[in-house]
Amino acid sequence: MNYKLVIVESPAKARTIGKFLGRTYKVEASQGHVRDLPKSQMGVDVEHDFEPKYITIRGRGEILEKIRKDAKNASRIYLATDPDREGEAISWHLANVLGIDPSSACRVEFHEITDKAVKNAMKSPRPIDMELVNAQQARRVLDRLVGYKISPLLWMKVKKGLSAGRVQSVATRMIVDREQEIDAFIPEEYWNVDAKAQLGKQKFHVRLVTLDGKKAELHDAAQAQAAKARVERAQLTVKSVRASERRKNPAPPFTTSNLQQEASRKLGFTTSKTMQIAQQLYEGVDIAGEGTQGLISYIRTDSVRVSEEAVADVRAMIAERWGDGYLPEKPNVYKGRTNAQDAHEAIRPTSVTRRPEEIKDSLSKDQYNLYRLVYLRFVASQMAPALYETLTMELEGDGVGMRFYGERLKFAGFTAVYEESQDEAQEAVDSEQVAANVGDAVVIAEADAQQHFTQPPARYTEAALVRALEEKGIGRPSTYAPTISTIIARGYVTREKKRLYPTELGTMVTEMMKEYFKNIVDIQFTAGMEEQLDEVEEGKMPWKEVVSRFYGPFEQTLENAEQKIEKVKVKDEVSDVVCDKCGAMMVYKLGRYGKFLACPNFPECRNTKALQVEIDAPCPKCGAKLLEKTSRRGRKFYGCERYPECDFVSWDMPVRDTCPVCGSYMTQKRGRKGELWHVCSNETCRHRVEVQPPEEGQDE
């Protein structure tokens, strides 16, 4: 029996599409890539215009054999892999294996897996887009050149097991740089003076903003108490009252990075988990009473564009469910990032009639939560703005200037459905409203001075790192999740309470890369490479020219590194600890979680010991010795040798000095310019003393 063969990537998608197309079609899955560069060799012929050598991926032989057999009996073959660079490349490889002319109408794209979308797509096959394929080949070859040239060099010259990657090394550098910023941060003390005010029977809160016509900058308790006393004595009157309306517009529908960020913030998902669940929703879920349906559109996109049909459907639903007041006069149109690719729509539900709560029983908990997130974000994106009444009131008297700001929700608009979350906590806004006129006298009932300290930049969460990578032009929608997974798997970065920390290994490799391979870990250089790959996709530049431009300077960098890296070759340092299994003197080794002791007779003797480094300060709690330790996630901390009897721990290294202000123990910090500070550990004090830097030639 003759049939038409459709080849997709995943078995789940094959099952869904097979049900839509019926018996005259046979749908098979390639299960991802079928050919790639060999693992045992570089696989790129540098001498012959960077020609790649592709081989069948190990384990894909049986899959390819079945596809070949099905292809022989098929009246026509359609290549329907994912609609992106990787998918286009998979189709091209399949065409090569099956002897299909890439310029023939053999390629089909499914931007959503629904009955209507699949059948419409089958009516419009096209040739394979070689510009997309070449953009993927350029990325693959560049990544292979970097990985296969630098990693063995680091392995041979520096330390066994080290490795580097084109995008991963930049991401690791960003995390290392942020940690160094945090380590160098010295908190600055500042104070706010707030007060309870009364106007007639109305009570409200105000904040000190000016003293004697200048901005009130209070840096210590004495200044704060003096300012507080002036506030309490001041005869204040209303200088100005400004009432206005604030509009808050909805966020656009999800791009890949937005979805990863919001799923991290709202659902606690890692980037890889978000993409795994989103892939399931895209490929199809068995819905009671409907059969298998793709619930969301294609999930790898950086576009905020939405089809006219989808906009019309959601606007009709908004008018019906919430009323015309919640519907803008014209559809909301969003502007994407400057370098965004517009090949796909934003991520949206395939049907707004399929409400999350109505299909909840057909979904797993994670599927339901992510689908609901996509659904509500899309619906809200086409709703009216939220409106807030705002009031700003300035008070003045006796050289004291104070301010009241309040806002109150007037019309919920899109916030009735969905509000975007933030990485960092936002300062609360007073919801009070006050009726006042210029010249009214205001009485200060009570004032309060509050101590604060400037905060270091926050460590990256996965969501914040994805946003930073996107803003800097590093990587593309399909690369964010695998990049983060890779640097964690390599032991360069750890994840602790959603925050990303560099390991000692990650820091060491990054510093080495910054010294010998500046361009590879340079953010602007890597972003420029991404732009060139986009130009290949747009047909503006031959892919081998991009590789050639990169490889010339890269080869010179390699030659320089080969000559110089020998100077920093890491030798195992011998300790004074005797191996209790074979009697040899144990050596210091560097693992993903920092230093440890190992027997030099490995592999004959595999004895290892955790390393305990004593620091020159007593335990602030019991006076015993303090040890430098490493957490299970690779983060350095300091703890008492008597643990668990004494549970003292500190992320910052304690010193012998005590705070001259409050008597708490102090910790050591190094400033941005290399200066040393001792900083009080008491969060309500944070007194700091600069330590005289050591003279040249002396130890610290």
Catalytic residue set? 298
Helix (H, G, I), strand (E, B), or coil: what is residue 55? strand
H/E stretch holding 231 reads helix 221-233
Tell which residue, 392, 386, 241, 395, has the closest CA to residue 322.
Answer: 386
97: burial class by Cβ within 10 Å (0-12, 13-18, 19+)?
A: middle
CB atoms within 10 A of CB 85: 27
Tell which residue, 372, 343, 355, 442, has the closest CA to residue 129.
Answer: 343
The answer to whether the CB of 292 falls within 8 A of the CB of 286 is yes
Distance of CA 79 to the CA centre of its chain: 33
76: β partners = 4
Q: In angstroms, how far is the first alpha carbon of the chain from the final one?
A: 83
The answer to whether the CB of 528 falls within 8 A of the CB of 549 is no
The values of phi and psi at residue 358, to 5°, are -80, -25
Give exposure, 655-684, as e/b (b: 16+ Cβ within 10 Å). Answer: beeebeeeebbbbbbbeeeeebbbbbbeee
Q: Are strands 585-591 and 573-578 parallel, antiparallel or unpaired?
A: antiparallel
Helix (H, G, I), strand (E, B), or coil: what is residue 674? coil
Q: Provide the token pair at 655.
A: 């010193």
The answer to whether the CB of 444 falls within 8 A of the CB of 197 is yes
- Pairwise CA distance, residues 175 & 164, whole Å: 15
Tell which residue, 203, 230, 202, 220, has the closest CA to residue 401.
Answer: 230
Please report the DSSP string for 56-81 in residue order: EPTT-HHHHHHHHHHHHTEEEEEE--
CB atoms within 10 A of CB 187: 17
428: burial class by Cβ within 10 Å (0-12, 13-18, 19+)?
A: exposed
Q: Are strands 3-8 and 25-29 parallel, antiparallel or unpaired?
A: parallel
- Pairwise CA distance, residues 284 & 119, whole Å: 15
Please report the DSSP string for 510-574 in residue order: HHHHHHH-TTTT-HHHHHHHHHHHHHHHTTSS-HHHHHHHHHHHHHHHHHHHHHHGGGGPPPPEE
CA distances from 598 to 192, 197, 225, 509, 572 (A): 54, 67, 58, 21, 10
Q: Who's near 15: CB < 8 A, 6+ residues apart?
A: 27, 284, 292
245: β partners = 389
The arrangement of strands across the sheet holding 608-610 comes to 573-578, 585-591, 594-598, 608-610
- Pairwise CA distance, residues 77 & 698, whole Å: 75
H/E stretch holding 626 reads strand 625-630
- Pairwise CA distance, residues 463 & 256, whole Å: 11
CA atoms within 13 A on the CB side of 690: 9
- Pairwise CA distance, residues 356 & 345, whole Å: 21
The values of phi and psi at residue 623, to 5°, are 85, -5
